[in-house]
Amino acid sequence: MADTFEELVEKQRAVNEAHLRVLQLRDTYGAPTTASWTQQQTETYETAWRAWRDLARDVQASVTDYAKDEGRSRNDVEADVKQAAGPEPEETLEEHGKAGRTDG
């Protein structure tokens, strides 16, 4: 059974939350190319990144299916879903002074 629009929005919110977690970890640990991470930090970051990637892949497939079933443009459906889901993580971090930052 295909997802409803509301289910797509919830999936996108999960993607946004997972992406925010990745950004927070990168902000906390420092950029991987400029900071030396411990093995645990590397594993935590990679796990969070994979979760974000997998959720994003799943919502993209669901948006494609929904658009096809509804006879709508995939881009229009994606834009509607993202708008309904709320601000994306990059915007959220900028608006809140890089939430999760520990170095002031």
Q: What is the pLDDT of residue 92?
A: 53
CA pair distance 35, 69, nearest whole angstrom: 47
Domain ranges of the chain: 5-95
How far lies 98's CA from each of 17, 18, 64, 81, in Å?
14, 16, 32, 25
Provide the whole-model pTM. Answer: 0.82
Q: What is the pLDDT of residue 102?
A: 44
**pLDDT tens for residues 2-38?**
799 999 999 999 999 999 999 999 999 988 788 899 9
5: its two tokens: 């629009």
Q: What is the pLDDT of residue 101?
A: 44
Q: What is the pLDDT of residue 84?
A: 97
**pLDDT tens for residues 32-57?**
788 899 999 999 999 999 999 999 99
